[in-house]
């Protein structure tokens, strides 16, 4: 009896011990829950504390833009002057796509995104291109009835014009989009405005001072709506970047660095060969070469000159006109820097030893002594290392791309206390805004944000939806035509940019420092 | 007990520690993905190189597939982590965990000549900590402890009593 009792006791305690063993994971899981909760609260508190103390707690993700465009009965008839590669992208943004491109987009699964784009209630009614093939592509694009937002039902016929004058004289065209090589931009804009058309012109606005002053005066003294083709600042993070600068998060800004790095033949404007290395189509029987040259000195036709015109100063300003224009506009929209006091450029043809005139390595420095600020542009066509666009302040620096990040300066006066306490780490961004993840401010940055910060700027994210920035820029222009609002890249901004670019180009060509005379409004 | 070995105390302690720690690490990976707003595996998959890069790109380009992958990944990690810690279906959890982590490794192996835009943890060549964790899980498959220290004890007892009754 006693023995039995003892056995039972032993059995019970054995059971208890085994059951306890089986439950070994429970306290571990409990400890895990406690620690996870602590970490979660710590991160949340740290994030909200930094954001609150910096006064950024009321910066919110941008809402989906709602415009007044697209009203029925408000159809805008648009003509294209120049229908090359860029015009295809612009027509996509307007809501038109060439059937071939539509097919390839359908195959790679990106067509649905485009079909979600807002319908701007536009008809493309005129195409002018000196090259038959391009004009035919334009007509096919204009006549394609598949449109975003369902077809608005207004399909007007599109007509080809052999000369731009004929297109401008047509009273049935309300507005023109100029996507020609740069040497036509200023004159076409002036003539279009004089003919009563609203103008969307690709950058750069002008090649020379004379052209620039003429187009500025013409547009300024008219009631036509003008927009220069810069889409970068339509990226939603620019609104937040503006707010961060306004709140003086960066401290005193004395240096703004802009850069371009590319390392491909196409990036260096060698584009006359197709993917198989054969020359692209086009000859003098299908191209009106004299109209293409316009006012420029006569040169015999070559596919090299026709496709790679950027290589010569007769037609544009090289990297200054093609790439720095975007950089200047981005900085000018953000900081309203205006016309620089002086500009110095240097560089050379160091890598692409072909028949080009434009440098493939270029540095430009613009001084703003009254604003106590320098803007630099550093560009290479033989390295693809990305160096970003950086606004350097005494207290923090901001890198601005498709996303935005602000990193505190280790020697900042303003953040000294936070830095000492370890609340702000100068080795990682203290604020980052990635529109891809909803656009809310994230004060704890992961490698992901760093990764996206360096990415391109072709689309932006509004309420988690990918939106083409060029579409937003064109929409702004169309809204302005319809309801009299202002465009962001208006003629004043275009003029400031034009002066800065012409100054930099002049400095390179004349190998000297050039200055802006604000009294006589001339470059000296 | 079928499938259960006799361990010395030291062997049992280290094996259980390995199970708990790997479980903890995997569970926290899963929970983090749940807590990060709008987390998506797209960023990781976009950086994929070597043999799985084509498959990863296919996942990214199909929104529905990506959503399923994100969901399965997050909850898979949570289930595997919790299973290892509790010792519940721990062997199954270890097998699934080893497979899943091996897939992570295959997406970004530290092989000669492969460059990644996302910074890697430490300096590795061919083998990295991800792969070591996968092998650690295989050890847990080979030397299961959850029937001694874990909820699997009840399952194996239930099974044992069932077979006894049948006998």
pLDDT in tens, A425-440: 888 888 877 766 555 5
**What is the C-alpha end-to-end distance of chain B, expressed in Å?**
16
Q: How far is B30 from chain A (nearest CA, A)?
A: 12
A24 and B61 within 8 Å at the Cβ level: the answer is no
B38 and A437 within 8 Å at the Cβ level: the answer is yes
Which H helix or E strand runs over B153?
helix B152-166
Say if B62 is an interface residue toward chain A (CB within 8 Å): yes
Percentage with pLDDT > 90 across chain B: 47
Say which residues have a Cβ less than 8 Å from residue A184's Cβ, sequence separation at least 6.
A81, A82, A178, A294
Question: Given A40, A108, A451, which is nearest B117 (Cβ)?
Answer: A451
Chain A residues bordering chain B (beta-carbon distance below 8 Å): 18, 21-26, 28-29, 32, 36, 40, 108-109, 436-438, 440, 447-448, 451-452, 464
Question: Given A24, A109, A448, which is nearest B150 (Cβ)?
Answer: A24
Asked if A38 contacts A45 with a C-beta cutoff of 8 angstroms, the reply is: no
Say which CATH topology domain A76-231 has: Rossmann fold (3.40.50)
B117 and A109 within 8 Å at the Cβ level: the answer is no
B151 and A25 within 8 Å at the Cβ level: the answer is yes
Say which residues have a Cβ less than 8 Å from residue A297's Cβ, sequence separation at least 6.
A314
Q: How far is B166 from chain A (nearest CA, A)?
A: 23
Say if B26 is an interface residue toward chain A (CB within 8 Å): no
Q: How far is A22 from chain B (nearest CA, A)?
A: 4
Q: Which residues in chain A have Cβ-Cβ distances shorter than 8 Å to B4?
A: none
pLDDT for position B3: 47
- A348 versus B62: the higher-pLDDT residue is A348
3-state secondary structure of A375: strand
Cα dist. B146→A311, A433, A519 in Å? 72, 45, 86
The ipTM, to two decimals, is 0.84
For residues A476-493, average pLDDT: 92
Of A108-117, A504-513, B54-63, B67-76, minimum mean pLDDT range: B54-63
A26 and B149 within 8 Å at the Cβ level: the answer is no
Structure tokens at A470: 């060029």
pLDDT for position A469: 82
- B107 versus A315: the higher-pLDDT residue is A315
A21 and B149 within 8 Å at the Cβ level: the answer is yes
B150: left (phi over 0), alpha (psi -120 to 50) or beta: left
Most confident option among A15-29, A50-64, B1-15: A15-29
Q: Which residues in chain A have Cβ-Cβ distances shorter than 8 Å to B154?
A: 22
pLDDT for position B1: 43
pLDDT for position B112: 76
Domain A237-271+308-517 -> CATH class: alpha beta
To probe the interface with B, which of A21, A24, A385, A463 has the most B CB atoms within 10 Å? A24
Question: Given B85, B118, B154, which is nearest A29 (Cβ)?
Answer: B85
Question: Given A28, A108, A109, which is nearest B85 (Cβ)?
Answer: A28
Q: Which residues in chain B have Cβ-Cβ distances shorter than 8 Å to A452?
A: 43
| Residue boundaries of the structural domains of chain A | 76-231, 237-271+308-517, 276-303
A32 and B27 within 8 Å at the Cβ level: the answer is yes
Say if B35 is an interface residue toward chain A (CB within 8 Å): yes
Question: In A132-234, where does DSSP find H-type helix?
Answer: 132-143, 164-169, 185-194, 209-220
pLDDT tens for residues A324-383? 999 999 999 999 999 999 999 999 999 999 999 999 999 999 999 999 999 999 999 999
Whether the full predicted model's pTM is greater than 0.80, yes or no, is: no
Question: Given B37, B86, B149, which is nearest A29 (Cβ)?
Answer: B86
Say which residues have a Cβ less than 8 Å from residue A6's Cβ, sequence separation at least 6.
none
Q: Which residues in chain B have Cβ-Cβ distances shorter than 8 Å to A443?
A: none
pLDDT for position A251: 95
pLDDT of A4 strictly over 70: no
To probe the interface with B, which of A15, A16, A17, A25 has the most B CB atoms within 10 Å? A25
Angle (CA) B120 B126 B130, round 5°: 55
| Residue boundaries of the structural domains of chain B | 16-161
Question: Given B31, B87, B118, which is nearest A25 (Cβ)?
Answer: B87
Cα nearest neighbour of B41 on chain A: A448
Question: Given B20, B28, B148, which is nearest A28 (Cβ)?
Answer: B20
């Amino acid at each position: 009896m006693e023995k039995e009792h003892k056995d039972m006791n032993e059995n019970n305690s054995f059971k208890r011990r085994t059951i306890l063993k089986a439950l070994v994971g429970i306290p571990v899981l409990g400890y895990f829950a406690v620690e996870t909760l602590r970490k979660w609260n710590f991160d949340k508190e740290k994030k909200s504390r930094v954001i609150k103390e910096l006064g950024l707690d009321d910066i919110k993700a941008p809402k989906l833009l709602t415009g007044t465009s697209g009203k029925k009965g408000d159809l805008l008839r648009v003509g294209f002057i120049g229908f090359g590669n860029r015009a295809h992208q612009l027509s996509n943004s307007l809501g038109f796509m060439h059937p071939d491109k539509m097919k390839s987009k359908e195959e790679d699964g990106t067509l649905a995104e485009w079909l979600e784009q807002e319908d701007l209630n536009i008809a493309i009614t005129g195409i002018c291109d000196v090259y038959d093939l391009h004009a035919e592509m334009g007509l096919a694009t204009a006549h394609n009835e598949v449109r975003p937002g369902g077809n608005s039902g207004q399909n007007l016929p599109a007509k080809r014009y052999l000369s731009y004058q004929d297109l401008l004289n047509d009273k049935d065209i309300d507005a023109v989009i100029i996507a020609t090589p740069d040497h036509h931009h200023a004159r076409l804009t002036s003539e279009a405005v004089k003919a009563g058309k609203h103008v969307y012109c690709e950058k750069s606005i002008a090649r020379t001072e004379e052209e620039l002053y003429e187009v500025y005066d013409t547009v300024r003294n008219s009631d036509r709506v003008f927009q220069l083709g810069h889409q970068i600042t339509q990226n939603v993070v620019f609104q937040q970047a503006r707010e961060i600068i306004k709140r003086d998060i960066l401290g005193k800004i004395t240096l703004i660095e802009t850069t371009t790095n590319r390392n491909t033949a196409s990036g260096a404007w060698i584009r006359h060969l197709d993917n198989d290395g054969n020359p692209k189509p086009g000859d003098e029987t299908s191209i009106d070469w004299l109209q293409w040259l316009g006012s420029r000195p006569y040169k015999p036709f070559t596919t090299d000159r026709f496709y790679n015109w950027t290589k010569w100063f007769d037609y544009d300003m090289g990297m200054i006109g093609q790439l720095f224009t975007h950089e200047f506009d981005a900085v000018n929209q953000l900081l309203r820097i205006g016309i620089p006091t002086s500009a110095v450029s240097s560089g050379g043809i160091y890598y692409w030893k072909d028949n080009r005139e434009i440098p493939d390595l270029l540095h430009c420095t613009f001084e703003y002594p009254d604003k106590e600020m320098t803007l630099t542009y550093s560009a290479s066509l033989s390295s693809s290392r990305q160096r970003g666009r950086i606004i350097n302040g005494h207290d923090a620096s901001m890198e601005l791309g498709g996303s935005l990040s602000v990193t505190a300066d280790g020697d900042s006066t303003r953040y000294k206390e936070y830095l000492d306490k370890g609340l702000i780490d100068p080795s990682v961004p203290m604020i980052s805004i990635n529109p891809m993840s909803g656009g809310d401010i994230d004060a704890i940055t992961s490698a992901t944000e760093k990764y996206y910060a360096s990415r391109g700027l072709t689309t932006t994210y509004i309420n988690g939806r990918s939106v083409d920035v060029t579409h937003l820029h064109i929409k702004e222009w169309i809204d302005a035509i319809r309801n009299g609002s202002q465009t962001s890249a208006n003629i004043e901004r275009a003029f400031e940019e034009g002066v800065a670019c012409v100054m930099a180009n002049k400095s390179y060509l004349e190998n000297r420092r050039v200055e802006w005379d604000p009294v006589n409004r001339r470059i000296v | 007990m079928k499938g259960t070995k006799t361990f010395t105390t030291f062997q049992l302690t280290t094996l259980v520690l390995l199970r708990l720690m790997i479980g903890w690490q995997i569970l926290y990976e899963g929970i983090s993905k749940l807590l990060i707003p709008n987390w998506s595996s797209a960023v990781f998959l976009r950086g994929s190189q070597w043999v799985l890069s084509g498959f990863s790109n296919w996942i990214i380009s199909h929104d529905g597939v990506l959503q399923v992958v994100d969901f399965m990944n997050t909850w898979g990690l949570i289930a595997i982590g919790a299973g290892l810690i509790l010792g519940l279906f721990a062997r199954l959890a270890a097998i699934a965990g080893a497979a899943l982590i091996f897939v992570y490794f295959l997406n970004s192996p530290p092989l000669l000549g492969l460059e990644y835009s996302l910074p890697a943890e430490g300096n590795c060549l061919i083998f990295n900590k991800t792969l070591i964790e996968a092998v650690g899980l295989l050890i847990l498959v080979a030397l299961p402890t959850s029937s001694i220290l874990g909820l699997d004890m009840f399952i194996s007892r239930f099974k044992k009593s069932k077979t006894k009754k049948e006998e």
